[in-house]
């Protein structure tokens, strides 16, 4: 059974809505700015990818606004756009025919921060009735399910930055087991001082910029946003007459060995397993969207994996996430959206902020690169050793996207 993406909704530091995100991404425009959501002047790092110009009340029913964290508001907005893109009709899929599977990392951090402050500064009766679910990891899945009538198998996966791919892998399982439509992907964000300080504790946040694979790489930058995707059974999508962006052809996940153990990291294994799952060889891969940690040691590990699989400079590699920052549960989902848009348009967006890679890889820098694309590999790694890989492939069957046929 083939599972295809029929809807994309994006809320990103580089654009609200898929079209504005994609234009900025192809042009290599950065969404990294000094933090203006709170006073970051006392912190050693002050740059982040913030979604500009987003007012929840303009996008969501008023009843939902007080009970949701900003990342849930962004997720619900992206979710509505993704379903609109897929021409979703709520009652067309049977009673339990719609599922929701999203990725999360820290939950509704800003909401939770406010309630912790209410408790500890003012007292327990100041804690919101919404706190019990507004911050927890499953909140976006639950709210999307309620808003769009997803009564099939729903869930949330957490593997930090790898989560967007794991969610899509799980969504594909649901499609294969008979759920015709799954709302998936991830939107995330933790831009409150409490979320920021948690990030800083990793010691990996850059004070200067996010330049993955660059000689000056000295860490990553956090951001907010992500993408909600609609995954469908290809036959059901074709029957509805809905074009597909591409097929989720392969997926795999691995965990790194315990630190200190003399064993290789798991990223290469994840990539190989995903390629095998898609029944493609490395030579058939036209491009790679890299995890691109921006941390020199992690960049080196990923570059080695790419060289090992494809040979030095063996495949075009890109990391448009240098323009958004790393988006936790949202990052890999947004990369997947970018990969699908690349397939559609035959163009690979660049990696803004990096002039020349410090590794023997063919990193797309400067301008976007036009090239025919059929098969794209997306890699992601989550804090603590999580690796995930997805292979997306142009869908040429019935219901192929009109741009490509």
Partner 1 sequence: MTRVGITGIGAVAPGGVGVKAYWELLTQGRSATRTITAYDPSPFRSRVAAEVDFDARAAGLGPQEIRRLDRAAQFALVSAREALASAGLTPGELDPDRTGVALGSAVGCTRSLEEEYVVVSDGGRLWEVDHRYAIAQLYGHFVPSSMAAEVGWAVDARGPAAVVSTGCTSGLDTIGYAAELIREGSASAMIAGSTEAPISPITSACFDAIKATTPRNDDPATASRPFDRTRNGLVLGEGAAFFVLEDIDAALARGAHVYAEVAGYATRCNAYHMTGLRMDGHEMAEAITVALAEARTDPSDVDYVNAHGSSTKQNDRHETDAIKQALGLEHARATPVSSIKSMIGHSLGAIGSLEIAACAMAIEHGVVPPTANLREPDPECDLDYVPVTAREHRTDVALTIGSGFGGFQSAMVLKRCPS
Partner 2 sequence: MAQLNLEDLVAIMRDCAGEDEHVNLDGDILDTLFYDLGYDSLALLQTTGRIEQEFDIVLDEDGITEAETPRALLALVNDCLAQAA
Please report, as residue ranges, which positions from 197 to 236 form the binding site for partner 1 (by CB under 8 A). 197-203
Helix (H) or strand (E) holding 117, with range, is helix 109-117
Spatial separation of the C-alpha atoms in residues 24 and 333, rounded to whole Å: 17
**What is the nearest approach in angstroms of partner 1 to the Cβ of residue 278?**
14
Choose from partner 2, partner 1, none: what does 17 bind? Cβ within 5-8 Å by kind.
none
One residue of 21, 80, 97, 115 binding partner 1 per CB under 8 A: 115
CA distance 113 to 128: 12
Q: Is residue 20 a contact point for partner 1 (CB under 8 A)?
A: no
Helix (H, G, I), strand (E, B) or coil at 298: helix
Residue 146 in contact with partner 2, rule: CB under 8 A: no
Positive or negative CA dihedral for 8, 11, 14, 17? Answer: positive
Of 296, 279, 288, give the one whose Cα is nearest residue 217. Answer: 296
Burial (CB count within 10 angstroms: exposed 0-12, middle 13-18, buried 19+), residue 342? buried
Nearer Cβ to partner 2, position 96 or 126?
A: 126
Question: In this chain, which of 63, 91, 262, 372 binds partner 2, going by CB under 8 A?
Answer: 63
Question: What is the end-to-end Cα distance of the chain in Å, rounded?
Answer: 21
Nearest residue to 142 via CA among 178, 104, 172, 91: 104
**8 A C-beta contact, residue 377 and residue 361:** no
The one among 119, 308, 346, 369 contacting partner 1 by CB under 8 A: 119
104 is an interface residue for partner 1 by CB under 8 A: yes
**CB of 66 or CB of 94, closer to partner 2:** 66
> Which of these ranges, 46-54, 144-152, 226-234, 367-375, lies near partner 1 under the rule CB under 8 A?
144-152
CB of 19 to partner 1, least distance (A): 29
Nearest distance, CB of residue 125 and partner 2, angstroms: 6
CB of 138 to partner 2, least distance (A): 16
Chain residues binding partner 2 by CB under 8 A are 61-67, 125-126, 128-130
């Amino acid at each position: 059974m083939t599972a295809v993406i029929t809807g994309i909704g994006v809320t990103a530091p580089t654009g609200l809505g898929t079209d504005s995100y994609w234009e900025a991404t192809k042009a290599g425009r950065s969404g990294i700015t000094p933090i203006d959501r709170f006073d970051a002047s006392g912190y050693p790092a002050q740059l982040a990818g913030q979604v500009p110009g987003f007012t929840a009340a303009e996008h969501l029913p008023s009843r939902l606004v007080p009970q949701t964290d900003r990342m849930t508001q962004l997720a619900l907005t992206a979710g509505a756009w993704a379903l609109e893109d897929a021409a979703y009709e709520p009652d067309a899929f049977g009673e339990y025919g719609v599922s929701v599977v999203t990725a999360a990392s820290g939950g509704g951090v800003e909401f939770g921060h406010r309630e912790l402050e209410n408790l500890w500064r003012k007292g327990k009766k100041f804690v919101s009735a919404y706190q019990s679910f507004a911050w927890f990891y499953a909140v976006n899945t639950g709210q999307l399910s309620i808003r769009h009538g997803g009564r099939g198998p729903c869930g949330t996966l957490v593997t930090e930055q790898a989560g967007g791919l794991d969610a899509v892998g799980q969504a594909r399982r649901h499609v294969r087991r008979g759920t015709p439509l799954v709302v998936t992907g991830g939107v995330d964000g933790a831009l409150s001082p409490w979320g920021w300080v948690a990030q800083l504790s990793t010691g990996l946040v850059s004070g200067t910029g996010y330049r993955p694979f660059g000689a000056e790489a000295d860490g990553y930058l956090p951001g907010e946003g992500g993408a909600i995707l609609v995954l469908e059974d290809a036959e059901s999508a074709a029957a509805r007459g809905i074009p597909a962006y591409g097929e989720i052809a392969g997926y795999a996940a691995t965990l790194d060995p315990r630190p200190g153990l003399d064993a290789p990291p798991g990223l290469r294994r994840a990539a190989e397993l995903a390629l095998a799952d898609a029944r493609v060889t490395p030579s058939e891969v036209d491009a790679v969207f890299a995890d691109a940690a921006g941390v020199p040691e992690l960049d080196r590990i990923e570059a080695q994996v790419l060289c090992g699989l494809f040979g030095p400079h063996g495949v075009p590699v890109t990391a448009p996430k240098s323009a958004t920052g790393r988006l936790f549960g949202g990052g890999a989902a947004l990369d997947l959206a970018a990969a699908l848009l690349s397939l559609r348009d035959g163009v690979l967006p660049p990696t803004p902020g990096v002039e020349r890679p410090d590794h023997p890889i063919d990193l797309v820098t400067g301008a976007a690169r036009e090239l025919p694309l059929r098969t794209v590999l997306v890699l992601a790694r989550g804090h603590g050793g999580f690796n995930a890989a997805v292979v997306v492939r142009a869908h040429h069957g019935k219901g192929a996207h009109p741009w490509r046929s």
